[in-house]
């Protein structure tokens, strides 16, 4: 009933009936927009990829970018791991505003409302000079629609799956010559009681209930000035399933609100953007979902302000000068009441003047009331060898300050932690011919005082500064797009080799597979598409002394997609874990057996 009411509100909104005109693109200054994707190690998932995706944000990034996620069971916490680092070493942004939890420093990608974004930018490697704290392993920016004059569009979708899983989503976008308004809601419910492959046990206490809501509006004041408001809300209620050996009655409730106001001006070669954002996170953890007295509640409130000035000269030289201020307050029953202020100033220069050499240079200085942070820098360059060959290289130093949980969690925090510092280096080769492309990239991360959460002998996880941390590896990707008669073939292979170690002990970092591979193969004939995905993850250690590990696994998924009525109606049937393999990502937490999904989508 609640969903029907919200659908009625959305469809009765005045902008539903607005008309469309000629396209106009808002050239808004965004931190990621300043980067030249062709120079930096940055990839983009555009609106077409996101609109056609039948997966969660976690599965889409895993498939498209070969990113490893530590997933605590189907639909549970999904924390990202890029280039052998932890989730708090990947900076996540929403329209340029950092949204990683100030309490634990990470984002649960299973809670993201994928369809509320029209662009996802993924940068692998260091980026602190541009993006600040935590951009060590990589960074991700989630963007909302911002193109004028695209007319009206709406989407209604419903998905039913194994384990009594139901996902429903409705969204509308109306884009005229003077405003853009978009909104949507998504609900997901699942009993999540899957059977462990080869065992008689089931995943118990795994029920999930989530709600996502977004609203965005942009208006032209005149041809050079724009105002906008963006909002994103997530409410999740998840029971925490137990392990093979320890049942659980725990429950975690999250309520996250993000609201942003901004003003943008562009005149000839100059542009200016001012934004203010408020973020509130409230989580309630119950060790026994049936006992309200077992509750532990913690909150964080964030005020974030940012001003960016950009100057472009002859489309060959671009300068970005900016500053930001952040106030963060964390408080609750299991953390000490603490607050801090953070300021940042940064200067970046991009040169794209020749067809042979292009480069980006950046410097940044941040200050907090708790830590001394040095100047950081970055240099990225691209050298065009020929029409087919390109070389890329980058060098940067980066940092991350400890989170509130790192320092002040009453049961396991470590107030003696230091701020982290790393040096990152990349070198890559690109080759492209016709409809085939090949990319090889090598990376090195040398870290000092890197923070890692590790289990203690009391079975309590605590953060520690690893004296010397090193992560090095190779990333490979090849893409092929061609026709065989009337059949369109798309084929992508991605492989990552990562060796992340504590240089003091020589031991491999926990939950970092040395070998990680993903293959995506699809055939399209008219309005029918069939695809198969193959993933391989090498073994991962889950103890710091390498005494215990999860076995390597292969995973196969397949799907069949049919478009009807010129693509306005779409039906997708997907089978996950086709071969019914037993596998674990987190120790003693088996992932689902073979399962099915049927999704219906209506676009108009």
Report how far residue 389's alpha carbon sits from residue 349's, in angstroms, rounded to the nearest whole number: 25
pLDDT higher than 70, residue 173:
yes
> Which pLDDT tens digit goes with each residue over 53-106?
888 999 999 999 999 999 988 888 999 999 999 899 999 999 999 999 999 899
> Which pLDDT tens digit goes with each residue over 218-248?
999 998 999 999 999 999 999 999 899 999 9
Listed in sequence order, the residues at least 6 apart from 485 whose beta carbon sits closer than 8 Å to its beta carbon are none
Q: Are 217 and 179 in contact (CB under 8 A)?
A: yes
Handedness of CA 33, 37, 39, 41 (dihedral sign): positive
Where residue 195 falls among pLDDT bands split at 50, 70, 90?
Answer: very high
Where residue 32 falls among pLDDT bands split at 50, 70, 90?
Answer: very low
Paired strand residues for 256: 234, 281
Listed in sequence order, the residues at least 6 apart from 63 whose beta carbon sits closer than 8 Å to its beta carbon are 55, 518, 520, 533
> Which pLDDT tens digit goes with each residue over 280-296?
999 999 999 999 888 88
The tokens 């969903």 sit on which residue? 3
Q: What is the pLDDT of residue 12?
A: 34
Q: What is the pLDDT of residue 4?
A: 34
Per the confidence metrics, is the pTM higher than 0.75?
yes
Query: Could you count the other beta carbons within 10 Å of the beta carbon of residue 458?
Result: 8
Grouping H, G, I as helix, E, B as strand and the rest as coil, residue 63 is: helix
pLDDT higher than 70, residue 256:
yes
């Amino acid at each position: 009933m609640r969903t029907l009411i919200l659908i009625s509100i959305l469809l009765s909104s005045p902008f539903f009936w607005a008309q469309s005109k000629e396209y106009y693109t808002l050239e808004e200054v965004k931190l990621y927009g300043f980067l030249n994707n062709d120079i930096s190690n940055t990839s983009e998932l555009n609106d077409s990829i996101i609109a056609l995706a039948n997966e969660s944000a976690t599965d889409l990034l895993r498939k498209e970018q070969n990113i490893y996620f530590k997933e605590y069971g189907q639909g549970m916490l999904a924390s990202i791991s890029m280039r052998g680092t932890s989730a708090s070493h990947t900076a996540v942004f929403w329209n340029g505003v950092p949204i990683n939890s100030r309490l634990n420093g990470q984002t649960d990608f299973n809670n993201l409302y994928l369809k509320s974004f029209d662009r996802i930018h993924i940068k692998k490697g260091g980026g602190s000079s541009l993006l600040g704290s935590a951009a060590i392993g990589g960074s991700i920016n989630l963007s909302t629609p911002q193109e004028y004059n695209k007319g009206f569009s709406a989407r209604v979708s419903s998905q039913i799956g194994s384990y009594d899983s139901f996902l429903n989503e409705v969204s509308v976008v109306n884009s005229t010559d003077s405003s853009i308004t978009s909104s949507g809601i998504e609900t997901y419910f699942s009993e999540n009681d899957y059977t462990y492959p080869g065992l008689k046990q089931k995943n118990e206490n795994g029920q999930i209930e989530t709600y996502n809501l977004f609203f965005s509006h942009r208006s032209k004041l005149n041809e050079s000035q724009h105002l906008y408001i963006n909002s994103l809300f997530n409410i999740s209620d998840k029971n925490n399933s137990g392990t093979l050996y320890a049942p659980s009655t725990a429950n975690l409730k999250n309520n996250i609100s993000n609201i942003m106001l901004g003003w943008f001006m562009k005149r000839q070669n100059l542009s200016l953007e001012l934004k203010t954002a408020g973020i509130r996170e409230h989580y309630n953890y119950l060790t026994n979902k049936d006992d309200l007295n077992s509750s532990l509640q913690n909150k964080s409130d964030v005020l974030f302000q940012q001003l960016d000035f950009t100057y472009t000269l002859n489309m060959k030289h671009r300068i970005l000068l900016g500053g930001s201020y952040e106030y963060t307050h964390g408080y609750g029953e299991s953390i000490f009441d603490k607050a801090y202020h953070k300021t940042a100033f940064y200067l970046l220069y991009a040169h794209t003047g020749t067809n042979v050499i292009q480069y980006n240079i950046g410097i940044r200085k941040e200050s907090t009331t708790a830590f001394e942070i040095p100047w950081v820098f970055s240099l990225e360059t691209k050298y065009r060898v020929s029409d087919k060959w390109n070389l890329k290289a980058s060098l940067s130093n980066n940092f991350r300050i400890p989170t509130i949980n790192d320092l002040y969690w009453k049961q396991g925090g470590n107030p003696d932690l230091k701020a982290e510092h790393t040096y990152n280096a990349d070198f890559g080769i690109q080759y492209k011919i016709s409809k085939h492309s090949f990319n090889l990239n090598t990376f090195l991360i040398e870290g000092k005082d890197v923070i890692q959460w590790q289990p203690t002998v009391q079975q309590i996880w605590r953060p520690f500064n690893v004296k010397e941390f090193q992560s090095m590896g190779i990333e490979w990707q090849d893409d092929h797009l061609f026709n065989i008669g009337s059949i369109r073939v798309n084929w992508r292979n991605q492989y990552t080799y990562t060796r992340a170690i504590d240089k003091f002990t020589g031991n491999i970092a926990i939950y970092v597979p040395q070998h990680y591979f993903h293959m995506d193969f699809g055939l399209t004939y008219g309005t029918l598409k069939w695809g198969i995905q193959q993933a391989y993850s090498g073994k991962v250690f889950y103890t710091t002394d390498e005494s215990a590990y999860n076995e390597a696994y292969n995973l196969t998924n397949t799907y069949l997609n049919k478009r009807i009525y010129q693509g306005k109606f779409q039906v997708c049937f997907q089978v996950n874990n086709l071969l019914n393999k037993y596998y674990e990502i987190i120790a003693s937490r088996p992932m689902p057996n073979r399962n099915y999904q049927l999704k219906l989508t209506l676009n108009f």
